[in-house]
Amino acid sequence: MKVLVIGGGAREHALCRSLSLDPDVTALHCAPGNAGIAEVARLHPVDALDGAAVADLAASLGAGLVIVGPEAPLVAGVADAVRERGIPTFGPTREAAVLEGSKAFAKDVMAAAGVPTARSYLCTTPAEIDLALDAFGAPYVVKDDGLAAGKGVVVTDDLATARAHALGCDRVVIEEFLDGPEVSLFAVTDGETVVPLQPAQDFKRAYDDDQGPNTGGMGAYSPLPWADPKLVDEVLQTVLQPTVDELRRRGTPFAGLLYAGLAITSRGVRVIEFNARFGDPETQVVLARLKTPLAGLLHAAATGTLATFPPLRWSDGAAVTVVIASHGYPESPRTGDPIEGLADVAEQDAPEAYVLHAGTERDADGRVVSAGGRVLSVTATGSDLTSARRRAYRAADRISLEGSHHRTDIAAKVASD
Ligand code: AMP
Ligand code: GLY
């Protein structure tokens, strides 16, 4: 099978890495990709947001499977454009991707499906905003209703900050604060059958001890030794299947990757958010543990045949990823800084540890330089979280990128040193 992956972040690098290890994949292409993906896939300089251009590329390559990675092309209808050419495509329709694109729509679907989530108000006027902030009290949770790559959310004890963020949005969801650890659970679905993957934990704040602003995610680990072994089944029954059923009932079936961001509160599991795509950086650790070849699974979802797909196989071991972010991330990331040490990791730490590229490119001299806020996702596997964590940090320490920062406490609480 010839596979084309759309996107160019560490998530797409993780997808391409897994696909490159899948014996059923005869050719691997990516658009636009990045400097790291170029080592496992052929890159094409096609705009990921241009549905017609992506569909043309897929057709010209004879792709048997197209995987649309990021939310922006999904919300722009790129998966629809490719599917219209009769090419199996992994990624929801534009209409179903609104589940991620609009927080208000997601709340409406959850209410209809009886899915547990934070109580919330959708506000459009300053008076509604003040009423909602007052109703819930601190900590305030204020979410821009539009797509904001995980950065439209402000959680703060400070009323003035909460109010200022809310007033800056056209439509804003203000909701109850959910206490308790967060879990990211992904499910592959063809619109009917739902196959959950293994849960992971993401670290959303920029700095150690969950300090600093929210980011797209600074690191992740899997499995979650503290989680109830019945968690995945429970979330399948109470969250994932009802949501997929409700979207099908509405005539906008959701096929692709359903990402449930969950809070495990003292009153039970609550959905924080849905995304319509693989999470980044959680994908890096989830796919590191998936033993089932990836192309067949995603192809089954794209062709409506998940019901007969064999049960997934997982490694018993663990995986940890640490994101290296550029100077100034998330507020004002600096780009163009050279990255050193990649070859050292490849020579000394592979195959257990490896570097997945997010925002990287080659400059005119052929050097790999930073090209985005999150630059690298240093990933490692091990027999347990302690060894995976040790390997990930040993590899991360070999990398140098001027002015970069990374968290030092990814998976620290679940490792034994
Ligand atoms: P979201 O984009 O909705 O995932 O929000 C980003 C992050 O903000 C989440 O991962 C949480 O850490 C935090 N957050 C969002 N909603 C809530 C909530 N209701 N209670 C507590 N924290 C939240
Ligand atoms: N890591 C969070 C996200 O992908 O939205």
Q: Which residue, 308, 339, 366, sits at the end of a domain?
A: 308
Q: Give a yes or no: residue 112 inside a domain.
A: no
Q: Give a yes or no: residue 110 inside a domain.
A: no
C-alpha distances (whole Å) from 195 to each of 70, 256, 297 are: 20, 11, 10
250 and 279 belong to one structural domain: yes
For the chain, report the end-to-end CA distance as a whole number of angstroms: 44
271 and 378 belong to one structural domain: no
Instruction: Assign residue 64 the CATH number of its domain.
Output: 3.40.50.20
354 and 279 belong to one structural domain: no
178 CB within 6 A, ligand 1: yes
Q: How many angstroms separate the CA atoms of 78 and 4, rounded?
A: 13
The residue count of the chain comes to: 417
In DSSP terms, 189 is beta-bridged to 194, 256
C-alpha distances (whole Å) from 400 to each of 95, 135, 266, 325 are: 42, 47, 42, 11
Q: Number of folded domains in the chain?
A: 4
> How many A from CA of 217 to the centre of ligand 1?
12
Q: How many angstroms separate the CA atoms of 387 and 108, rounded?
A: 43
Position of tokens 């969250």?
239
175 CB within 6 A, ligand 1: yes
Q: Are 403 and 337 in contact (CB under 8 A)?
A: yes
Q: Are 123 and 135 in contact (CB under 8 A)?
A: no
Q: Give a yes or no: residue 284 inside a domain.
A: yes
Please choose from 120, 155, 174, 266 the residue to mutate so as to test ligand 1's pocket, defined by most ligand atoms within 8 A of CB: 155
> How many A from CA of 280 to the centre of ligand 1?
15
Q: What is the pLDDT along the chain (417 residues), one digit of tens a residue?
A: 999 999 999 999 999 999 999 999 999 999 999 999 999 999 999 999 999 999 999 999 999 999 999 999 999 999 999 999 999 999 999 999 999 988 889 999 999 999 999 999 999 999 999 999 999 999 999 999 876 555 588 999 999 999 999 999 989 999 999 999 999 999 999 999 999 999 999 999 999 999 998 899 999 999 999 999 999 999 999 999 999 999 999 999 999 999 999 999 999 999 999 999 999 999 999 999 999 999 999 999 999 999 999 999 999 999 999 999 999 999 999 999 999 999 999 999 999 999 999 999 999 999 999 999 999 999 999 999 999 999 999 999 999 999 999 999 999 999 987
> How many A from CA of 122 to the centre of ligand 2?
23
Which residues, 6+ apart, have CB-to-CB distance to 218 below 8 Å? Answer: 203, 204, 205, 206, 281, 322, 323, 325, 406, 407, 410
Q: Give a yes or no: residue 335 inside a domain.
A: yes
Q: Give a yes or no: residue 106 inside a domain.
A: no
Q: How many angstroms separate the CA atoms of 64 and 394, rounded?
A: 39
170 and 207 belong to one structural domain: no
118 CB within 6 A, ligand 1: yes
Ligand nearest to the CA of 142: 1
Q: Give a yes or no: residue 101 inside a domain.
A: no
Q: Which residue, 131, 158, 175, sits at the end of a domain?
A: 175
Residue nearest atom 4 of ligand 1, based on CA coordinates:
273
Q: What is the DSSP letter of 236?
A: I
Q: Look at residue 404 in the predicted model and tell me its pLDDT.
A: 97
Domain with 30 in it: 2-91
262 CB within 6 A, ligand 1: no
